[in-house]
């Protein structure tokens, strides 16, 4: 099995440690990973801003870069969702269909393709998990609170197997953080208020480390944490599953 590693723009620019942790984690599991050096954006920012036609050539380039791999793995649910759902806007050649069907968010790949049910690492901290909207509503990676109050999903199940970890029980387990891509630009006041509410929930329930599967959401929440000077560390779930400590 050969995996093409897709690293979103903002992770490449601002959070390279997440890309490194993702690569290391996959290689520890015996996966042959390649990074197509000519990869660019998946096209999501333009599409979210109402300019999806301008993303067509970006979609086509993505397919050109990744069609030769057995799977495409990315540490971001929103990008995985975009490839799977929005690449229907281009001609459905065999290459396009293959890329759409073989693109997975990292945890989704671990659980549904590799059938991983546990991870052999230790993380002795109180961890709060933020489930992104694209991961939950788009990819179906966790349950919905309007159906059951019990938080569950692929990521939560893996986190529960980590030695010494304590998981925060939030008051509202799947509320949006307010980032929403370009929503945080067009509706900055609403976006900020939603993020403040999310962080307040973690503070009330004593989260020490805030994690999730979308660094975009975590970036938004981390900005609020830093402005409020709160003692909460933000880490992508790839870093925790890879065995990184909070000081790396």
**Mean pLDDT of all residues in 2-8:** 97
Is 173 in contact with 129 (CB distance < 8 Å)? no
Is 9 in contact with 49 (CB distance < 8 Å)? no
Which tokens is 182 given? 């370009």
Residues of the chain above pLDDT 90, percent: 74
Which pLDDT score is estimated for 72?
Answer: 98
- 51 has pLDDT over 80: yes
Which pLDDT score is estimated for 148?
Answer: 65
Question: Biggest alpha carbon distance in the chain?
Answer: 50
Residues 6 or more apart from 167 whose CB is under 8 A from it?
126, 127, 128, 129, 156, 159, 160
State if pTM tops 0.75. Answer: yes
Band of residue 139 on the pLDDT scale cut at 50, 70, 90: confident
Q: Which residue has the tokens 């925060």?
A: 168
């Amino acid at each position: 099995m050969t995996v093409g590693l897709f690293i979103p723009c903002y992770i490449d620019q601002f959070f390279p440690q997440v890309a490194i942790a993702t690569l290391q984690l996959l290689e520890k599991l015996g996966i042959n990973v390649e990074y197509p050096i000519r990869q660019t954006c998946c096209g999501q920012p333009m599409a979210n801003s109402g300019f999806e036609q301008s993303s067509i050539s970006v979609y086509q380039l993505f397919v050109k870069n990744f069609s030769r791999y057995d799977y495409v793995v990315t540490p971001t649910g929103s990008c995985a969702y975009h490839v799977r759902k929005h690449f229907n806007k281009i001609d459905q050649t065999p290459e396009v269909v293959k890329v759409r069907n073989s693109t997975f968010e990292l945890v989704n790949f671990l659980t549904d393709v590799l059938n991983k049910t546990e991870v052999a690492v230790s993380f002795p901290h109180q961890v709060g998990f933020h489930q992104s909207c694209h991961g939950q509503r788009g990819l179906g990676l966790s349950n919905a609170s309007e159906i059951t109050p019990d938080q569950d999903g692929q990521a939560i199940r893996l986190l529960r197997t980590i030695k010494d970890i304590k998981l925060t029980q939030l008051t509202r387990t799947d509320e949006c953080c307010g980032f929403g891509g370009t929503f945080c630009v067009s509706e900055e006041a609403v976006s900020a208020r939603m993020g403040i509410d999310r962080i307040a929930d973690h503070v009330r329930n004593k989260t020490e480390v805030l994690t999730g599967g979308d660094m975009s959401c975590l970036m938004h929440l981390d900005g609020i944490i830093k402005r409020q000077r709160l003692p909460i560390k933000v880490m992508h779930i790839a870093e925790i599953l890879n065995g990184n400590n909070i000081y790396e």
